[in-house]
Amino acid sequence: MVSSGQYTNTEESENLDDIHILSEVIAESASNLKDTAFTMVVVNHRDVVVQLLKSSHCPADFEKKIRKGHRWTTIINNLDWQEVTKTQGSLKLYETDFHWASHPLHHPVGSPYSLYLIAPHTVPQELHTLILSAIDDAIQSRIKDASMQKKMDDTHQFTFAIMNALKVGVIAINPKGKILFANDHACRSINIRRRELLKIPIKKLIPYWNNIYQMVASGEKFINEEIVITGNNTKTKYNVNVSPIRDQEQTKLIGMVIAIRELENVYNLVNKYTGMQARYTFSDIIAKSRIMRKLVDYSGTIANSPSTVLIEGESGTGKEVFAQSIHNASSRHENGFVAINCAAIPENLIESELFGYDDGAFTGAKKGGHPGKFELANGGTLFLDEIGDMKLEMQVKLLRAIQEGAITRIGGNKTIPVDVRLIAATNKNLKNEVDKGQFRLDLYYRLSVIPIKIPALRDRKEDLPSLIRFFLNKKSLKLQKKVPQLRYSTLQEFLDYNWPGNIRELENAIEQIVNLDGIASFEDLKMEFNREPESDLVKPITETSVTKEIPLVTFQEMEKKMIQKAIAFHNSNMTKVAETLGISRNTLYLKIKKYGFNTSAHD
């Protein structure tokens, strides 16, 4: 509501930040005109005066006639204005001629204000224009700067809120190891308040931080490593990732980000979805030699193919590292990577491990059934390690699952379609196994659509120096020891050795060196590699030793004695007897009947 030309505060909501900027700039400009009888008036888009500034030489009557909150058109009508136009006019007051001119004040979102400069006619018109234009430029620059600062402040608030919403601890540091930021989860995990945490150098929280820094700064990845972090009188292991922060040109390292997660949460997450995590990528493979560079490039090229892959190589050459890298480079990387060692699982369990089972499929089956590895890997990758050790009967069932793209659980009759990328690995020559009748030819062709042969370490010795440096850093972090300095003669002996155990043997050798703080000769290490076990439990068995130390009996006699002892020990409680022997109660009763035991069974 307008009353007597005045516009009230409740009727106009001004941008207070902009008004503040206008006041600052006009005050600065006014200081340069302090010896002139001038008045500056700022009018908003509703024709209301929102800012007024006048010099001490200005007639007192101006203060009565021009006031904040009044409409500008009403002010003009109340004064003796002459030659009034939209942008300029003249005024005679107390026998003094004044001239006024207006100028729109630019704004990032429009032009909501106009600036009027009223000064005596003695001030040249060109100076009016120059002053108004300079003020406008200054205001525009200030508003842009203020807007940019506000956007930065808002972005900071958004970033801070996002970081604190994460269920992962995040710590940012500068190159000197000073902590610049820590989110709420990091503070809670380490149990240190943020203001205290920001005062602690990172090397006090993470032992051997310098080793980690050197690895990441040199371009090596530091992902999913188990690291001890020191909190308030506690030392706790966390799953830690460290990533570099580089400048806009990506040339200078300006800091690092450390992500920490409690191990329990990591294990629960992994087990919930796949039971295993594909950690490695092609960038983790040390490939300085020409043969390895070609192999990595080739593997990356075929990574996204749906065809089956057969990886062959000696033990310890890194077959699973390649399998995981292929998975992570494929479009399936967001889905499961599930691995199964065909040599480690008993023959009578491997079918249920691969295909799962339905409720009641066999004695001891989990209620509700259980999915197999094919189902868990649906949409992802199934890695069959040591495929050359799979029995022929199981090979037939695997071949059928590959051909049909579907499986049937043990004890079930429902066909379950599965979309699985199959990667198999073996340290055997499968063609030779086919010739010996130990491996099916049709399965071999199904698996080796894309064959990959990983060279032995002795055939890629150009990679040895890089591998040695990598394992020295890795084992030093694991064992929380300083990186030992190897003598040149020791390095040369490493290069000359053939490494029959390949990468795994090299890794074990480096771990021994780190454990011994580098005080170990290569000859001592070779003796450890080649030493025969001395335990009586693993002595070579000869006919003489068998007949001398172990009375020869039939398996039936041994089984009979074991059952008799178990029955006596558990006082004929057949449920406990069966559990102890690892067989079902039905099987136990059949054996009791077979051997003609006279027992009074109870549960």
What pLDDT, on a 0 to 100 scale, did the predictor assign at position 535? 41
Let me know: does 318 contact 257? Beta carbons within 8 Å: no
285, 296 contact by CB (below 8 A): yes
Average pLDDT over residues 329-351: 87
192 within 8 A of 173, measured Cβ to Cβ: no
Is residue 570 within 8 Å of residue 576, measured between CB atoms?
Answer: yes
Residue 450: per-residue pLDDT: 96
Task: Kindly state the percentage of the chain with pLDDT values over 90.
Answer: 27
Estimate the share of the chain in helix, then strand, then coil, as percent rounded to the nearest 5. Answer: 45, 20, 35
pLDDT at 593 over 80: no
Return the CATH number of 282-455, one of 3.40.50.261, 3.40.50.300, 3.40.1440.10, 3.90.1170.50: 3.40.50.300
Q: Is the pLDDT of residue 425 over 90?
A: yes
Which CATH number among 3.40.50, 3.30.450, 1.20.1530, 1.10.10 corresponds to the domain 2-148? Answer: 3.30.450
- Whole-number pLDDT of residue 449: 95
The pLDDT score that the predictor gives to residue 431 is 92
- Give the residue with greater pLDDT, 557 vs 492: 492
Q: Is the pLDDT of residue 166 over 60?
A: yes
| pLDDT tops 70 at residue 143 | no
Per the model's pLDDT, the better-predicted residue between 309 and 87 turns out to be 309
Question: Looking at the predicted structure, is the pLDDT value of residue 368 above 60?
Answer: no
Q: Tell me: pLDDT of 538 over 50.
A: no
Q: What is the pLDDT of residues 562-584, one digit of tens each?
A: 788 778 777 777 877 777 777 77
Among the four given CATH numbers 1.10.10.10, 3.30.870.10, 3.30.470.20, 3.30.450.20, the one describing domain 166-273: 3.30.450.20
Closest to 242 (Cα-Cα) out of 223, 214, 217:
223
Residue 71 CB partners (closer than 8 Å, separation 6+): 2, 5, 6, 7, 47, 48, 49
Report the topology of domain 543-595.
Arc Repressor Mutant, subunit A (1.10.10)
Tally the C-alpha atoms within 13 A of residue 326's C-alpha that lie toward its C-beta. Answer: 32
Percent of the chain with pLDDT over 70: 71
Q: What is the mean pLDDT of residues 127-146?
A: 69
Kindly tell me if the per-residue pLDDT of 217 is higher than 60. Answer: yes
Range 138-151 average pLDDT: 69
Residue 463 banded pLDDT, cuts 50, 70, 90? very high
pLDDT attached to residue 2: 31
Q: Which of 105-109, 191-195, 328-332 has the highest mean pLDDT?
A: 328-332
Q: Say if residues 119 and 37 touch (Cβ distance below 8 Å).
A: yes
Please give the pLDDT value at position 485: 85
Q: What is the mean pLDDT of the chain?
A: 78
Which pLDDT score is estimated for 515? 85
Q: Answer whether 349's CB lies under 8 Å from 394's CB.
A: no
Domain boundaries, the chain: 2-148, 166-273, 282-455, 458-530, 543-595
Non-local (6+) Cβ contacts of 198 within 8 A are 179, 180, 182
Return the pLDDT at 62.
65
Tokens 């000696």 sit at which residue?
314
**What order do you get walking across the sheet with 450-453 strand by strand?**
337-341, 381-385, 421-426, 309-312, 450-453
Token pair belonging to 398: 């695997």
One fold for both 2-148 and 166-273?
yes
Given this model, what pLDDT does residue 129 score? 67
> How high is the pLDDT of residue 488?
82
Q: What is the CATH number of domain 458-530?
A: 1.10.8.60
Residue 373 has pLDDT above 80, yes or no: yes
Whole-number pLDDT of residue 31: 63
Q: Which residue has the higher pLDDT, 581 or 275?
A: 581
Q: In sequence order, what are the residues at sequence separation of 6 or more whose Cβ sits closer than 8 angstroms to the Cβ of residue 486?
A: 468, 472, 494, 513, 518
pLDDT surpassing 80 at residue 32: no
pLDDT grade for 363, boundaries at 50, 70 and 90? low
When mean pLDDT is compared across 122-126, 267-271, 422-426, 505-509, the lowest value belongs to: 267-271
SS3 555: helix
pLDDT, tens digit, 9 for 90 and up, residues 238-260: 888 999 988 888 888 999 999 98
